[in-house]
Every structure is written in C-alpha cells, then in structure tokens.
C-alpha cells in the first residue's frame, strides 16, 4: 500500500514538474503513459501541429506565411501609398544603424529625410552599402535592429511623406 | 557533418537536397526569389531568405546575394543543385574564399572538365576513346578529304568559332565533302568572322549513354554507379532516362565504367559527376563530355543501386567517407524516369505556366515521384517548365515499363498542359519497347504521327 502511494507521489511530482515546464516554455503538448496511468496535457488555445518552418529573419512586419500553428491573422506588410513611404532592403545582408559603433545613428524616429539621404548601411560580403532614402518626409518607424540580418525587399524604415 | 547547409536552387532539386539534409540531421536554409514565395522548398526548409526579384540573374544567379544569405544564416556549406551556379567555377572559388564549403568538385575540376577541348585532351591522354577527328583546323579541302579517308565517312565539318548549328555540314562522300568545306567556311566567315573549320567523324543514329560517378578523392575512392541511357530527347533536351541501358553488354558496361573511373582519378575529381558517351549503331562509343554536378536523372541510378547520391555528396563534402564501397556496383532491376514538363505537346511544346487546379500523384509499388508542385500552386513563368519527375522501378525492363504506364494513367495534373500524353505514347511505341531507338527517336515518332 505504502509502496503504491509513494510510487503515485513520484508520478504526481513528475507531472507537476512537466506542468511547470509547459507553463513557462514552448512545450504545447505532453503525453505520458505508464502501467495503469495515461495522461495527455495540451496547452490551451494553441493547435499543436508539426513544427512550422520559421522564417529565420524574424522582422515583425513580415507576413507569417509558413507557420502552420494557429497564428490568428497574418501580420500586415507596410505598403507604399500616398502618405507613407517604405524603405526596403535592396539586398541580403546585415543592417546597421550607423557607419561604425561609435558614430551616431544615421536617422532616428522623428528625423526628416529627403531623396539621397543615407538612412542606414547594409553590409553584404564585407562591403558596406549605404542605403539612401528616395522620398521626402519624417521617419515614423524603424522596423529593424542594429546588426539584424535582413533579406531582399525586407521593410526597414517607414517614412511619413511630406 | 555540417550543421547547416544553404541550398542555392529552387524547385524539385531544392526539395530533394532538403530531404537528404533532414535525414542526415543537417539544418537547411532555402533561398528564394519573390516568384517562389509559396514554393514547397521554402516551406520545408528550417530557414528561408528572400534573395531577389523573379529574374534568375537577380536571384538564383545572384552570387553576392547567395553568399550573403549563407553568411547571415551561418550556413557552413552550399549545395548548388543542378543548373544555375552548379558548374560556375567562379562561384565555387568564391565560396572557398568566403570559408563556405561548395558541395561539389573543386573550381579547378569544373574548369578542366568544363572546357570541352581540354576535357577531350584529358580523355585522350588517359586512353579514353574520343570521337575521331582532325584535332586541328583544316588547311583546305584536300586536307579535309585526306583526313576523312583516315577516320572514315561520313564526317561532320564544324566551325571552330561556331555554335547554334551554324558552320556545320555533314558529308557522306568525297565530292560532297569538297563543296561542304567551301560552304561551311563561307558561312563561318559570315556568322563568326572566322572561316576556320575542323572535322569530326559523324556518328549516325547515336545513343546517349552516361556513367554516374561518385568520387571520394580524399579517401582515394572512385566508384562508377552504372550507366543511364538518355537517348530519348527532343531538340537535345532529355525526356526520358533509363538504367541500365538496354544497349550494353556486361563487357561494354565494365569497359565504359572503367574509363569513367580512370578519367575521374586522373583529375582527382571530388563528389558526384557524370561522364557522357556517344554510341553509334555498331556499339562503338566515344567520350563526349563530363558534367561536373549532380543531374536531374540521378534518381534513376538511385533506384537501381539503392544509394542516396545527394547524401553521399554531402558526406564527401563534409570530409566523411562515402558509404559506397570501392568495388563493382551491381544494378538491381530496371528503372525509368519520365520528366513531366508544363508544356503543350500538341502545340509545339509551348510552355504552359499557370495554377494547378487538380493534382493526384501516382503511388503503389515501384513508383517514386520527385516534385515541388501541389494543388493550388501557381507555376511561375520565369524558370524551367519541369513539374515532376516520375520514376518507375521493376525487377526487369518489362515490369518497369508496365509500372510507368500505370503510373502515368494515375497521374492527374489539371489547370496546365503537361507532357504526360507524350510519355504515354513513348511507352506504347513498338520501337521503344523493342529497344530499337536512338536520339532521333522522338523526331521519327512525331513524323509517324503526322502521317
């Protein structure tokens, strides 16, 4: 009797540990099977499917096309229109906000830009490429971080046209 | 073994490489143009990087973009697939300079065997038979006639600066050779500003037979994985391939494989490669060229040898020993591949891009389908028209043909035109079944149809 009780205690302890891991981390489903005991735990609100291939460069404004798990709606890509200009990366590389670690940023939110003004650097194969604005306006949002990897056509900076 | 590989390609071959990587426990990085956003290889890979707009020159041929993508994703190696940059020696070199392993032969090998004249010279130096010819520019028509006497008529005159069939003439007699020499030289002068022509034996009704090589030069192992017969071609594009070649005796097979291995060893070739031979109707064969990459039809060899060519490529490149033993490889049964293209066979094979509205893939014993398309997929107009590779394997050629016919009937692709009807006709053709065909087979079949 006591043996069975202590056995059960061990199982309950193990399950509590598993629950903690589930709550904290990315574990969404857990199956446990033993003689006389079978437990299945699923995290609420998430459809567990095969691991979705994640886009390596996780820019916040990218359309989430490849994730099969339930992402409620695809995130909207910023678009060019009458009032907004989007500066996109013309190449694959690494985004830098300034020309070197100790020089100031090319642009900050709120700064004005005009055609020809350097807004950032994209480094590709050890070559630093200066990216220039093509519209006139005010920097509304910077979508990427310093030293972030970017891909072709990835939106970098949103400009409110003036 | 590599931790992460970037696949510098698209479509079915990109998917093929990703599958091999998954089996080896290697992470994958897909690169894609904007036209391939919804492509299957992008979805299957662990990471994906958009490298440019649809045109190939701005994306899949864009060397800086591809190398940059490998750098930002920390890919240790690049698999180039076939086509695109697979045989670009400059790209292979650049990878090395950027500390990225190019999964394929060295830049030097690509250059040595990619240069046709140099490849032929290497072949001759290694006692590999090449197409008999003048080996130099002809001085005049008398020179032509004398050399033709030595190598035997019929002969073909070719412009040294030529291409696209210009400055080429076939001559079956001395008299026609004399006039052909004049007209070929004149045409060469007009088209290429260079009247020089040389001479080669004209191989009538040739068969195209190639030997698959797997070379682990680091461990001194060079193996021939049998041969493939790729004679069913239309306008020099392969439509159907089979292995083993129904043309070859065991003796000829051994000879050709030994020649291929000798050539690979001579240039210390690394990785997968193919030696192409041209065979005349009397069974005489000659070295044509070497393909320094994995090929579309590698699948056929995989089916008859049970080796995974892509995995072996990756193993060799990572410094591991390949799992193919260094001995004579026996082929098991018979395999046939049909290349299913998005083309209209009733309209001069006009490309047929568009959205696939119905897609049902054949199955059952001995059937393999390598494809990157799916129902709802929109075939972009920017790239080649191959939709799927359908491979049938059987215990013998009869069973392989029967399985392929069954599979072609099962294969449903709607929304686009495909070459499936043409393949059905090929497999029902008496000459094909009786193994009585050469590279002129499709042409003859089309003529018969129009009668």
Q: Is residue B118 part of a domain?
A: no
The rounded distance, in Å, linking the Cα atoms of B15 and B28 is 10
Query: Of B103, B126, B150, which residue sits at a domain end?
Result: B103
B12-44 pLDDT tens trace: 999 999 999 999 999 999 999 999 999 999 999
Residue with the larger pLDDT of the pair B97 and B348: B97
Q: Is residue B86 part of a domain?
A: yes
Q: Say whether both B197 and B217 belong to one domain.
A: no
Nearest to B72 among A65, A93, A153 (CB): A93
Q: Say whether both B308 and B445 belong to one domain.
A: yes
Query: Quick check: A65 and B38 CB within 8 A?
Result: yes
Cβ of residue A77 closer than 8 Å to a chain B Cβ: no
A35-79 pLDDT tens trace: 667 777 777 655 444 444 443 333 333 333 333 333 444 456 788
* Inter-helix orientation angle B309-317/B11-24, to 10°: 60
- What domains, with CATH codes, occur in chain A? 2-42 (no CATH), 84-161 (2.40.50.100)
Query: Quick check: A56 and B68 CB within 8 A?
Result: no
**A126-131 average pLDDT score:** 92
Q: Say whether both B187 and B322 belong to one domain.
A: no
**Burial zone of A58 (CB within 10 Å; 0-12 exposed, 13-18 middle, 19+ buried):** exposed
Q: Kindly identify which residue of chain A lies nearest to residue B44, measuring between CA atoms.
A: A53
Nearest to B44 among A53, A92, A124 (CB): A53
Q: Is residue B192 part of a domain?
A: yes
Would you say B353 and B342 are in contact if contact means Cβ atoms under 8 Å apart? yes
A68-125 pLDDT tens trace: 333 444 456 788 888 999 999 999 999 999 999 899 999 999 999 999 999 999 999 8
Q: Is residue B218 part of a domain?
A: yes
Taking CA A23 as the corner, what is the angle to CA A18 and CA A28, rounded to the nearest 5 degrees?
A: 75
Query: Of B161, B184, B201, which residue sits at a domain end?
Result: B201
**B28, B49, B54, B95, best to mutate vs chain A, most A CBs in 10 Å:** B49
Q: Kindly identify which residue of chain A lies nearest to residue B66, measuring between CA atoms.
A: A92
Q: Say whether both B29 and B92 belong to one domain.
A: yes
Q: Say whether both B218 and B283 belong to one domain.
A: yes
Per the listing, tokens 């799992």 go with B323
Residue B424: closest CA among B440, B442, B441, B404: B404
Q: What is the pLDDT of residue B292?
A: 95
Cβ of residue A89 closer than 8 Å to a chain B Cβ: no
CATH label of the domain that carries residue B54: 3.40.50.20
Q: Say whether both B37 and B156 belong to one domain.
A: no
- DSSP assignments along A123-160, one per residue: EETTEEEEEE--S-EEEEEE-S-TTEEE-TT-EEEEEE
**B429-444 average pLDDT score:** 93
B231-253 pLDDT tens trace: 999 887 899 999 999 989 999 99
Minimal C-alpha gap between B413 and chain A (Å): 25
Q: Say whether both B188 and B282 belong to one domain.
A: no
Q: How many CB atoms lie within 10 A of CB B447?
A: 10
Q: Say whether both B302 and B339 belong to one domain.
A: yes
Query: Of B73, B103, B133, which residue sits at a domain end?
Result: B103
Q: Say whether both B194 and B90 belong to one domain.
A: no
* Residue range(s) defining the domain that contains residue B160: 141-201
Query: Per the residue annotation, which of B293, B315, B339, B403 is the catalytic one?
Result: B293
Q: Kindly identify which residue of chain A lies nearest to residue B59, measuring between CA atoms.
A: A152
**pLDDT at residue B158 tops 70:** yes
Nearest to B68 among A65, A125, A154 (CB): A125
Q: Is residue B197 part of a domain?
A: yes
Q: Say whether both B373 and B299 belong to one domain.
A: yes
Q: Is the ipTM of this complex over 0.90?
A: no
Minimal C-alpha gap between B37 and chain A (Å): 9
Q: Is residue B117 part of a domain?
A: no
Q: Is residue B136 part of a domain?
A: no
CATH label of the domain that carries residue B252: 3.30.470.20
Looking at the structure of chain B, the number of domains it has is 3
Residue B100: closest CA among B76, B122, B84: B76
Q: What is the pLDDT of residue A5?
A: 67
Q: Say whether both B149 and B255 belong to one domain.
A: no
Chain B hits for A53, CB-CB cut-off 8 Å, are 43-48
Q: Say whether both B189 and B219 belong to one domain.
A: no
Q: What percent of chain A has pLDDT over 70?
A: 70
pTM (two decimals): 0.81
B354-397 pLDDT tens trace: 999 999 999 999 999 999 999 999 999 999 899 999 999 999 99
Q: Is residue B128 part of a domain?
A: no
């Amino acid at each position: 009797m006591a043996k069975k009780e202590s056995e059960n205690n061990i199982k309950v302890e193990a399950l509590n540990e598993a629950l903690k891991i589930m709550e904290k981390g990315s574990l969404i489903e857990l199956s446990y099977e033993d003689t006389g005991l079978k437990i299945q735990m699923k995290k609420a609100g998430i459809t567990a499917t095969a691991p979705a291939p994640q886009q390596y460069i996780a820019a916040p404004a990218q359309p989430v096309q490849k994730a099969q798990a339930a992402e409620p709606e695809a995130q909207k890509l910023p678009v060019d229109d009458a009032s907004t200009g989007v500066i996109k990366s013309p190449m694959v590389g690494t985004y830098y906000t300034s020309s070197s670690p100790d020089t100031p940023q090319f642009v900050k939110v709120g700064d004005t830009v005009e055609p020809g003004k350097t807004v950032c650097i994209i480094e590709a194969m050890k070559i630093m490429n200066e990216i220039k604005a093509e519209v006139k306006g005010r920097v509304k949002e910077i979508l990427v971080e310093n030293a972030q990897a970017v891909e072709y056509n990835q939106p970098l900076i949103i400009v409110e046209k003036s | 073994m590599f931790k992460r590989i970037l696949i510098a390609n698209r479509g079915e071959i990109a998917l093929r490489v990703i599958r091999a990587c998954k089996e080896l426990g290697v992470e994958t990085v897909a690169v894609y143009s904007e036209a391939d956003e919804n492509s299957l290889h992008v979805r299957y890979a662990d990471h994906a990087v958009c490298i440019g707009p649809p045109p190939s020159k701005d994306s899949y041929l864009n060397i800086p973009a591809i190398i940059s993508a490998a750098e930002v994703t920390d890919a240790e190696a690049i698999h180039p697939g076939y086509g695109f940059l697979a045989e670009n020696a400059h790209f292979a070199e650049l990878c090395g300079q950027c500390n990225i392993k190019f999964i394929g032969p060295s830049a030097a090998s690509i250059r040595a065997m990619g240069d046709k004249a140099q490849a032929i010279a290497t072949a001759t130096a290694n006692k590999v038979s090449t197409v008999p010819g003048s080996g130099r520019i002809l001085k005049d028509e008398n020179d032509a006639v004398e050399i033709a006497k030595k190598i035997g008529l019929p002969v073909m005159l070719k412009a040294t600066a030529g291409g696209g069939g210009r400055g080429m003439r076939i001559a079956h007699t001395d008299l026609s050779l004399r006039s052909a020499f004049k007209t070929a030289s004149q045409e060469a002068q007009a088209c290429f500003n260079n009247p020089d022509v040389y001479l080669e034996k004209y191989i009538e009704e040739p068969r195209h037979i190639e030997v698959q090589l797997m070379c682990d030069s680091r461990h001194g192992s060079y193996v021939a994985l049998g041969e493939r017969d790729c004679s069913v071609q239309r306008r020099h594009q392969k439509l159907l391939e089979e292995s083993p070649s129904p043309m070859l005796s065991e003796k000829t097979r051994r000879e050709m494989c030994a020649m291929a291995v000798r050539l690979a060893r001579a240039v210390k070739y690394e990785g997968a490669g193919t030696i192409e031979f041209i065979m005349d109707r009397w069974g005489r064969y000659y070295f044509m060229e070497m393909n320094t990459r994995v090929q579309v039809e590698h699948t056929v060899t995989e089916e008859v040898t049970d080796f995974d060519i892509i995995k072996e490529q990756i193993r060799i490149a990572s410094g591991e020993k390949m799992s193919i033993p260094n001995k004579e490889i026996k082929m098991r049964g018979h395999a046939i591949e049909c290349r299913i293209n998005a083309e209209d066979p009733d309209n001069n094979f006009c490309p047929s891009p568009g959205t696939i509205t119905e897609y049902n893939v054949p199955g059952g014993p001995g059937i393999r389908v390598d494809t990157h398309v799916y129902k709802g997929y929109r075939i972009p107009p920017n790239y080649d028209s191959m939709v799927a590779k359908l491979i049938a394997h059987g215990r013998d050629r009869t069973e392989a043909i029967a399985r392929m016919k069954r599979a072609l009937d099962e294969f449903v692709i709607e929304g686009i035109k495909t070459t499936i009807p043409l393949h059905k006709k090929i497999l029902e053709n008496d000459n094909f079944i009786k193994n009585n065909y050469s590279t002129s087979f499709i042409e003859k079949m089309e003529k018969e149809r129009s009668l």
